Structure 1
Amino acid sequence: MLITPLPGTLDGAVDRLALCELHSDVPFDDDGTASITLHCVLSGKVRAVVDGLPPHSLPKGCAMLLPAGKALRLVAERGRGAAARRTPVRVLIGNVSVTASVALGLGDTLRQPMLHDLHAAPGAEALLAALEVELERPGTGTVLVASALMKLFLVHAARKLAQGETHSDPRVAKVVSAVLTDPGSPHSIASLAELIGMSRATFIRHFMRATGMNPMQFVAKARLDHAAELLRSTDLPVKSVAARIGYLNRSHFSRAFRRAHGMDPSQFRSAQAGEPAPRIVEDVEAP
């Protein structure tokens, strides 16, 4: 049996998911975020205006990938008839993580809004239908279905955008792939530079030019994104999650996770499951 590792799991590719239900007289306005955002129309029809340019009409099943810093207004478009007026206009919105943006080369190539239809992504239509059912009675699995749908859109949109190229710099792409495939490995600037046959200084310069990040900042972000995905989708104890991403000390992991995600790992897991947040006692180092 031959098992070939895939180049990056895209764990946590789209995070901070939010469901926006639009009403005809109340638009959704966003002045632009520091990250690429993905907007997927789950039901109804939406008019999207980006930076005051002519509007795009987005029907159900259409996704829009929006570059960082672009101002956006979403307005519900209501059809005629009672049935059209009763149909909720829902848009699922998520931030594309830095690791996913770098891995897919989006930061290099995405300059204008990109529209993508679900029919171009096999399986997306079934996920969309499943998510519609989930939204009527949200539960523990709702976030997982929503996340799967957004990941699928993101990957296909990135393939279309890049036309088969995974990254503008193949050497940087090789490093990104190695980190995302196994974020818990003891990566260092020296080991990553050796992977692509560069000196430390040359590697840092190439990596920062391609990604805008220091290599070890990228490794830390990839580890904590992967940790969030493990907390969201598994029942592994927090200590085991920490060990999988390369943290031997749980309290060090908890502090790093809190800085990255705004809450303790246990609180994060409860929030993702829609449960009351546990009371957290601050971790204390063993003497």
Structure 2
Amino acid sequence: MSEVVQLSSLLSTFDSSAPALTLLRLAPGVRMIGPPVEGVIAMLVIAGTLYLEIGGAPPRLVRQGELVLVPAGRRSHLAASALTQMTIDGQQCLVRREGWLVADATNGREPALIVGAGRIAGSSPEGLGSAVISPVVKCRIGKRIFALLRAECLQRDAGQAALASALMNACVVQGLRRAIEEHPARSATNSGGRGPIGGALAAIRARPGARHTVDTLADAAGMSRSSFVRHFKRIMRTGPADYVRTVRLEEARAMLDTTDLPIKTIASRAGFPSRSHFSRAFRQTFGRDPSSYRDRDAEG
């Protein structure tokens, strides 16, 4: 069964069996063990950066606003950084607090990482072959839903747990749809005529901040350098470098909209060599620098 079919099946399963929300809260230097479960686990990074190990594989980086789907039966380890001093079993720190189900590994400290998690009931070991990471905040609707979810999860008022669960479900649906739409296998056969460069487009969208070059993108597309550039310009009406820059700016704008990260950090994560370089490019594209863009809601 192809991964696109698996994801589509998960989305259909989700329609009738949405996961309940559990908040995972980790302090700096703490690694949490997640138990292997029968169904696929959906994890959404609400605050911080997740270093996720699945089944003994090297850690994968999952950023704020990204959804990760963990295959059924796989043991996972979660941490807020690559360096950890202690390991805690998530089951042993699971508590119900003011309507919330929380695996709290903070010991009273400010959490460095908050993850919303839930099992997609009805999914089976065949439901997903490998972990999938998908950004929820790549579209306007996804950004709005995620911002609402994050606000609910960072406060404690009556009714927030129920509302947060509904918003988590909406984020999982958005993430699944995004993963299906941007999957390389689908990109290679879509009606937009982008088949020859589908793999390169998927690589750029999946990791905008990575060190993309014409050579690496040509490899992702399975083409020679000259043939790739020719096809890319014909199909996208722009060159590979300009397209990468555009996607990186979109990524940076999403982080400005949905996070409180320092602008220097956003510039680095989006793939810009310096804050000054990022600010110039952002101003040229959006008509204002990143600081004034972030503060726009306070104007007037």
TM-score by length of 1: 0.45
- TM-score normalised over the length of structure 2: 0.43
